[in-house]
């Protein structure tokens, strides 16, 4: 049976960079955020989001993610409502995706909130990508053109690094890309050997 390897890390850790490197090695990678965006714009989800958060978050038949983010980012109960709509749909989408890749010994599920959503419990192994907080803040500020305070506010919605690391089978220190690739290669070798 195909094993599910969870891949996560805090905002700005570089988990997507790691995911893309793994995919380049021919291993199927499910990027939960990207797939969630697709799922969010299905008619069923659009209807539920509009009903819950108001029609103003829907523009030209798609969710205005910035407007929605403003509503949920500092409101844990609103974020929970959104997660209750999105997560079951993404879970189903992921299960369908795994079935399509059943001929692979393992697949990677990259998700920013692997722990926060509880979906880590359905993974056979977990890889956490980490980097020093100051590096992560700088990366996100550059990537998203946001302030340090905005990055810190987002970090508040995620588990602390040490909590993630404690539940992980593998940890990648992502500061230098070449060193990161070596760490990934070693983990992939171990995973392939243990099939």
- Any binding-site annotation on 109? no
- Any binding-site annotation on 2? no
Residue environment code for 128-161, b if the CB has 16+ CB neighbours within 10 A, otherwise e? bbbbeeeebbebbeeeeeeeeeebeebbeebbeb
List 74's β-bridge partners, or say none: none
- Any binding-site annotation on 10? no
Q: Which two tokens stand for residue 66?
A: 């910035």
Q: Which residues contact 91 (CB under 8 A, 6 or more apart)?
A: 119
- Any binding-site annotation on 54? no
- Any binding-site annotation on 15? yes
Contact 94, 100 (CB under 8 A): no
- Any binding-site annotation on 14? yes
| Binding positions for ATP | 12-17
| Binding positions | 12-17
């Amino acid at each position: 049976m195909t094993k599910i390897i969870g891949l996560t890390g805090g905002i700005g850790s570089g988990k997507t960079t790691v995911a893309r490197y793994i995919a380049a090695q021919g291993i199927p990678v499910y990027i939960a955020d990207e797939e969630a965006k697709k799922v969010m714009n299905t008619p069923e989800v659009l209807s539920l989001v509009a009903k819950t958060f108001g029609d103003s978050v829907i523009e030209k038949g798609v969710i205005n993610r910035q407007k929605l983010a403003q509503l949920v980012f500092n409101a844990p109960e609103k974020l929970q409502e959104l997660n209750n709509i999105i997560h079951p749909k993404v879970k189903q989408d992921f299960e369908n995706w795994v079935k399509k890749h059943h001929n692979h010994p393992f697949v990677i599920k990259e998700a920013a909130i692997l722990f926060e959503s509880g979906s880590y419990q359905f993974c056979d192994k977990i890889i956490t990508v980490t980097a020093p907080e100051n590096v992560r803040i700088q990366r996100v500020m550059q990537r998203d053109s946001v302030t340090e305070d905005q990055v810190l506010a987002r970090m508040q919605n995620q588990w602390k690094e040490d909590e993630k690391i404690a539940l992980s089978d593998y940890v990648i220190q992502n500061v230098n890309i070449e060193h990161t690739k070596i760490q990934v290669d070693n983990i992939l070798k171990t995973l392939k050997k243990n099939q």
